[in-house]
Chains A and B, each alone.
Chain A
């Protein structure tokens, strides 16, 4: 006689569940509809990006300095994937919700939860299906990269992979939010409203609070869009990746807690508390991790290698007091060109923004506004420059060390390219949608399983 055995649950094969999840998401119309919509969106962005890049390249043909500023990351990759980001923000929640919402709506979930799998296993494999769906909907954007190379364009491996990884994390984040929304809501429609409220709300938050200071700046940091910024700038930030992973795992764990039916609401809430606390703790740890890697070929996020090595040896605390308001363009320049790089290069840097307390109603002249004070050890100096060419020597002087000798060569050459991508409109509006339609049709082909059952049956 059989008996309930927990061991039977851990021994259940994962492959059928994974295959079912993948087949479920592929059999849904949402995925294919999104794919079809992404084609013209990405195609138009790519063609526009190539056109603008070509114009700039034509202007740079006589000027090596101008040519050096032409990076495919900024000119092609970010704009092309920018439209993909819009599609993921607005449409991907509908695709991801299906992995759970459909089963809730049809009652299949009531059978699924009785299968010999743990809740977390069920949720994890659903997220794998979400990732697979993201990979499918990224095909138009990936094809744009291939076309760029065919046109003779340059792609730097690491910065391209870094950007793709950022978009993958963003897609996973949006997908996990959508799955969690499907978990806690009573139907797919409600789940879509919740998921879009988060993604679109976060998008709106990002541009309405851009450039603000204080609480507004802190709130803007919570925007999902912020997760892509570093990757678009060519930075691989360990803290950011850990933070996104913490949110994804936290939401997956919460979905696992909320999945089993028959658990009273109170018990679910109590079990959710440790998940939330652990996620918050992981986010707090992630916020403290400053380690990041500049993946760009033009090293825009770091100083020269010699400067980087020397700055890393300056162990005393560096305190930078900036007498600028955060909205001031000079502060933005200083932050991008100097402060952010210093924070990544030196082990102990503190930045104090004194200008944010400036009273603009005060008519008296403020001679200190615009000054940036650098204190290293017991020595200090003041500058108004926002350029590393002036600030780095100042810092080396404060540290009592000689600046490194400039290394010959190694300058970023830039990759100008005059090309037209207009013909690729045929790919994005014709061939690719046709291939997608064929793929859709293929995914709906009749099953061949029937024959094997009949063959395996008793004669």
Chain B
């Protein structure tokens, strides 16, 4: 087991702490003994190849998948799965919510639920660049716009921690950089992001810290600087660090 920093455990500055989370499918461990914590305004990247357990980790964290063991604490208060949605909002990968409805209607629904003003919604639309797709049905959106819609929905939610599975999937380089900027701006306002990313280059662009996941096991946690120190690659990229640790 690798812990981000033992000194961080029990620190009330942490918005979220995950302790010994584990999930098995039959007799195979999807994630094993995952422990980490995040602070407000931090962007934490869960990095690993396909099948590493990133999605399972996010789903168990969000309470959408029953964990075999482990706990999640919100400001040191244990948060059982049914209450996770009070603090976390999870945007799954590969979903197209309400395909027969217009993108604007789906946004309007979320905005009404959370009593967002039109100005707030307009700002969110502008930030993610969803404007040209508002009057299209969700099923007719390109992969990139569908992803922007999901991101916009996530940004309209008030939860402190936003979990996103593969947030850059479907974006080209320029779009990715735009979305990175959006996430960084939100994080600067105090919102915490936990992102599951399999593209290490993208992860390096946006994340403050990384959890390196392989085969359901945490192989390293820390900033790129800390991970470089662990591996002895003082100028190594995240890719090189990842290969060294897994």
Say yes or no: A262 contacts B63, CB within 8 Å.
yes
Interface positions, chain A 369-384, Cβ under 8 Å from B, are none
B122 touches A454 (CB 8 A): yes
**Please, how many angstroms separate the alpha-carbon atoms of A19 and B158 in the complex?**
21
Known contacts A13-B115, A447-B135; is-contact A27 B100 (Cβ 8 Å): yes
Chain A nearest Cβ from B91, distance in angstroms: 8
Q: Which 8 A-B residue pairings sit nearest by Cβ, starting from the closest?
A: A457-B122, A456-B118, A107-B95, A4-B86, A16-B112, A108-B97, A449-B104, A447-B102
Q: How far is the CB of A147 from chain B (nearest CB, A)?
A: 33
Which residues of chain B are near A364, meaning CB under 8 Å? none
- Report if A284 contacts B (CB, 8 A): no
Interface residues of B in 76-107 (CB under 8 A from A): 79, 81-83, 85-87, 89-92, 94-102, 104-105, 107
Question: Which residues of chain A are near B66, meaning CB under 8 Å?
Answer: 262-264
With contact pairs A4-B87, A110-B90, A262-B63 given, residues A458 and B104 touching in the complex (Cβ less than 8 Å): no
Question: What is A's interface to B at a CB cutoff of 8 Å?
Answer: 1-6, 8-9, 12-13, 15-17, 19-20, 23-24, 27-28, 102-103, 106-108, 110-111, 113-116, 260-264, 446-447, 449-450, 452-458
| Smallest CB separation, A119 vs chain B (Å) | 9
How far apart sit A1 and B117, CA to CA, in the bound complex (Å)? 20
Query: Separation in Å of the B71 CB from the closest CB of chain A?
Result: 14
Task: State the Cβ distance, B164 to closest chain A Cβ, in Å.
Answer: 12
- Central interface residue in B100, B117, B134, B159, by most chain A CB within 10 Å: B100
Chain B residues proximal to chain A, CB less than 8 Å:
40, 59-60, 62-66, 74-75, 79, 81-83, 85-87, 89-92, 94-102, 104-105, 107-109, 112-115, 117-119, 121-123, 125-126, 131, 134-135, 153, 157-160, 190
| Chain A residues positioned under 8 Å from B100 (CB to CB) | 24, 27-28, 102
Q: Is the CB of A107 within 8 A of B115?
A: no
Known: A28-B100, A116-B113, A457-B126. A261 touches B65 (CB 8 A): yes
- CA of A115 to CA of B65, assembled, Å: 17
Task: Decide if B74 touches A114 in the complex (CB within 8 Å).
Answer: no
Contact check, A449 vs B112: say whether CB atoms are below 8 A apart: no
CA A440 – CA B63 in complex, angstroms? 39
Find the B residue at minimum CB distance from A455.
B118
By a CB distance below 8 angstroms, the chain B residues around A6 are 83, 86
How near does chain A come to B158, taking the closest CB pair, in angstroms?
6
Minimum CB–CB distance for A107 against chain B, Å? 3
22 A-B pairs with C-beta separation under 8 A: A1-B190, A2-B158, A2-B160, A3-B160, A4-B79, A6-B83, A13-B112, A19-B109, A20-B109, A23-B105, A27-B101, A103-B98, A107-B95, A108-B95, A114-B89, A261-B63, A446-B102, A447-B105, A449-B108, A453-B121, A454-B122, A458-B126
